[in-house]
């Protein structure tokens, strides 16, 4: 089932991981071993959760890396579908186009 406007993972990190602990972005970035800017970009949806960031989140106990990457992929796909009308392909394939193996 397609999700309508799935949350950016940064929003979940901010609301469900950082805020309940009363952490500042600076303190959370320090704990994760990243710059404040790097974490802020993720939290504000300016960049996505990379595999490396997903592992960092996992290592501090904030879910699994797989979970964060699936969430990011879901968001990326939703965003791509929003402009799918501008995506063109040259050819569609039919059964007669397939080469027997």
DSSP-derived 3-state class of residue 43: helix
Region 36-52: mean pLDDT is 98
Separation of alpha carbons 71 and 73, rounded Å: 5
Identify the pLDDT of residue 1.
56
Task: Supply angle C-alpha 55, 82, 38, rounded to 5.
Answer: 30
Region 38-48: mean pLDDT is 97
Identify the pLDDT of residue 3.
62
Summarize pLDDT for 51-84 with one digit per residue, the tens: 999 999 999 999 999 999 999 999 999 999 999 9
Select from 46, 37, 48, 52 the least CA-distant residue to 28. 37
Structural domains in the chain, CATH included, are 9-80 (1.10.260.40)
């Amino acid at each position: 089932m397609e999700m309508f406007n799935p949350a950016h993972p940064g929003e979940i990190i901010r609301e469900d991981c950082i805020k309940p602990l009363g952490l500042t972005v600076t303190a959370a970035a320090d704990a994760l071993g990243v710059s404040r800017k790097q974490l802020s970009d993720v939290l504000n949806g300016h960049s996505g959760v990379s595999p490396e960031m997903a592992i960092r989140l996992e290592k501090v106990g904030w879910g699994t890396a797989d979970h964060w990457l699936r969430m990011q992929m879901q968001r990326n796909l939703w965003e791509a579908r929003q402009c799918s009308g501008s995506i063109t392909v040259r050819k569609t394939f039919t059964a007669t186009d397939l080469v027997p193996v």
